[in-house]
Amino acid sequence: MIFGFDPIADEEPPTIYLVYPVYGKRGLSGSIRSILKTISKKASPLKWKEYRTEPKFSGKFGYWSTQYNNIRIDLSPFDGLVHFMNNSIARTIADVEFMAFSSEQLEIFLENTSDELKNNLSYLDALEDDPIPIKLVDKSQLEQGKAKNVIEVEAWEELEPMPEGEARIMTRQFLYVDGVEVEVCSNTNGKYFVRHNVYWWIMHGRKNPDPQYQRVIENLKDAVDRLPTIRWAGYKFRFETIIFSEDDVEVESVLLPLAMFEDLFKDLKSNCTGKLREELETGEYQSKPDDNPNIKLCAWLQRNSLGSLLQTKDS
Domain boundaries, the chain: 2-134, 168-309
Whether the CB-CB separation of 217 and 223 falls below 8 Å is answered with no
Tally the residues of the chain: 315
Distance CA 173, CA 185 (A): 7
Whether the CB-CB separation of 28 and 20 falls below 8 Å is answered with yes
Look at residues 159, 182, 203, 189 and name the one whose alpha carbon lies nearest to residue 310. Answer: 182
The tens place of each residue's pLDDT in the chain, 315 residues long, gives 999 888 765 556 788 999 988 876 666 566 777 778 777 766 566 788 889 888 777 667 889 999 887 788 999 988 888 888 888 888 888 767 788 998 888 888 888 887 777 777 767 888 888 777 655 444 444 444 544 444 444 444 456 777 777 888 999 999 999 999 999 999 877 789 999 999 999 999 999 999 999 999 999 999 999 998 888 888 889 999 999 998 889 999 999 999 999 999 999 888 888 888 888 888 888 888 888 999 999 999 988 899 889 876 555
- For residue 244, report the phi and psi dihedrals to the nearest 5 degrees: -85, 120
pTM: 0.52
308 exposed, middle or buried (CB, 10 Å; 0-12, 13-18, 19+)?
Answer: exposed
